Amino acid sequence: MTEPALPRAERRRRTERRILDAARDLFAERGFERTTIRAVAAAAEVDPALVMQYFGNKRRLFAEAVRVAGPPDSAAGPEEAVEQLLGTLGVKMRLPPASLAMLRSMLTHPEAAATAREALSRQVGQVGASLSGENAPLRAALMTMILLGVTVGHQLLELDELREAPHDDLVAALRPALRALAEPAL
């Protein structure tokens, strides 16, 4: 009936991970404001006070839960930039919950907005560095925003027109649009 009584350190690690996983999922689903500490605690099968003890406050819990490794730096030509961006759509359009949580909250939670701005700016800079021609930063920003828009529409708003299309069709349709921005004006 009872568990095999794990060592303390291991037990703590598992609990912390359970809380973090629950928090990530809830933040991804409802956003920062509508996710309560109590709901996270319940999902992790833990007392709300324990969540506070582990993470101090709700903002820090969010920050820990959405911490995600940025894409590897790589700057080559415009072609590679396009493919790199298309790659951010994720395998079969399934983004990690941490990213979804960030996206979901970036318009309403100020700290999420700041983090998102930073991450997006880094990507813009990276893409921009691999472009030549006029207005490279602007074009890089537009390319990044295109993927933001598509991701939001697909993952968060769940628009039928995007969900019904096969992933490959979507990528194939999007590629020429990105190329049009990546290539120096013809």
Partner DNA sequence: TCGTTGAGTCAACGCCTGTTGAGCGAAATG
Partner DNA sequence: CATTTCGCTCAACAGGCGTTGACTCAACGA
Residue 108 interacting with DNA (CB under 7 A) = no
User: Per CB under 8 A, which of residues 153..182 are in contact with a second copy?
Assistant: 153-154, 156-162, 165, 169-170, 173-174, 176-181
Round to whole Å and give the CA distance between 85 and 66: 21
**Nearest distance from C-beta of residue 33 to DNA, angstroms:** 8
User: What single letter denotes the amino acid at residue 140?
Assistant: A
Contact residue for a second copy among 23, 26, 65, 105 (CB under 8 A) = 105
Tell me the C-alpha distance between 76 and 116, whole Å.
Answer: 24
Q: Is 160 exposed, middle or buried (0-12, 13-18, 19+ CB in 10 A)?
A: exposed
Candidate segments 14-22, 37-45, 63-71, 137-145, binder of a second copy by CB under 8 A:
137-145
- Least CB distance from residue 76 to a second copy, whole Å? 21
Of 18, 30, 58, 59, the one binding a second copy by CB under 8 A: 30
The pair of three-digit structure tokens given for residue 179, joined into one six-digit string: 């190329």
Half-sphere exposure for 39 (CA within 13 Å, toward CB): 14
Residue 5 interacts with which of a second copy, DNA, none, CB < 5 to 8 Å by class: DNA
